[in-house]
Amino acid sequence: MASHKYPESLLLRLEAGTTARIDDALERFEGRSHMVREAIEREIRRRGKSRAEKQQDPSEVIKKELDRFLAYARSIGIDPTYEEFEGALKRLVSPKRRAPKTRR
């Protein structure tokens, strides 16, 4: 049995004109399959990162988002120590109260 570098195959249907767009984007002597394999690997890595973020402690995710938001606020000239801003921010990030579950 012959061994191949890429033993798995995939039949892929694309919208009309996609292969022409791929061909336009290819480097000289680069094959379509190479471009598609690279795109698949990039997407798998990207989705793996987002999955890891979803598995983080929710309070850590909120803290990171809050830090990023405050840095942005400072960069556009908003004083995060201003009481009204602080109150609005607390209401925005505080946990929402859930309605009690009812039986059906």
Residue 8 resides in a domain: no
Residue 73 resides in a domain: yes
Residue 81 resides in a domain: yes
Using CA atoms, how far residue 23 sits from 14, 28, 32, 41, 53, in Å, is: 14, 10, 7, 19, 35
Co-location of 45 and 68 in the same domain: no
Long-range own/partner contacts, residues 85-88 (CB < 8 A, 24 or more apart): none
The token pair that represents 25 in the structure block: 């984007």
What is the number of domains present in the chain? 2
Co-location of 25 and 42 in the same domain: yes
pLDDT in tens, 37-73: 999 999 988 888 767 666 667 777 777 787 887 788 7
Residue 67 resides in a domain: yes
Residue 1 resides in a domain: no
pLDDT in tens, 65-92: 878 877 887 788 877 777 777 777 777 7
- DSSP code of 48? H
Residue 83 resides in a domain: yes
pTM of the predicted protein model: 0.45
Residue 4 resides in a domain: no
Residue 22: domain span = 18-54
